[in-house]
């Protein structure tokens, strides 16, 4: 993808959003004061393979790290992203960290 994907946190809708060429991609979450559960990523077919899902996952993980909260990656895409980018393992809640390693 030639241009960086801009991702925003739509806190009211509990999701991170990226709009590329008028098409919306999302990563839904549930957040508390100590944890964020990353639930589901939806990247429309027209945007697949352009780094949009990775941009959503990266911002969500960076945001959790900045907030000092643990990540529970129930979304298979986010779990796979973390396995490919182990620098984010420290953000994952310890029980789920072991599960990611076992699945990888």
Task: Report how many domains make up the chain.
Answer: 1
| pLDDT value of residue 102 | 75
Question: In b/e form, how buried is each residue of 17-51, taking b as 16+ CB within 10 angstroms?
Answer: bbebeeeebbbbbebeeeebbbbebebeeebeebb
99 — pLDDT class (breaks 50, 70, 90): confident
Owning domain of residue 11? 7-103
100 — pLDDT class (breaks 50, 70, 90): confident
Q: What is the CATH number of the domain that holds 32?
A: 3.40.630.30
| pLDDT value of residue 104 | 66
- Averaged over 26-47, what is the pLDDT? 96
Residue 1 domain-assigned (yes or no): no
Residue 51 domain-assigned (yes or no): yes
């Amino acid at each position: 993808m030639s241009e960086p994907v801009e991702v925003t946190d739509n806190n009211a809708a509990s999701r991170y959003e990226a709009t590329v060429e008028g098409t919306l991609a999302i990563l839904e979450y549930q957040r508390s004061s100590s944890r964020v559960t990353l639930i589901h990523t939806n990247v429309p077919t027209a945007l697949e393979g352009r780094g949009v899902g990775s941009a959503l996952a990266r911002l969500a993980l960076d945001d959790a790290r900045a907030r000092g909260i643990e990540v529970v990656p129930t979304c298979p895409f986010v779990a796979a992203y973390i396995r490919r980018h182990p620098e984010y393992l420290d953000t994952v809640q310890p029980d789920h960290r072991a599960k990611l390693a076992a699945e990888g």
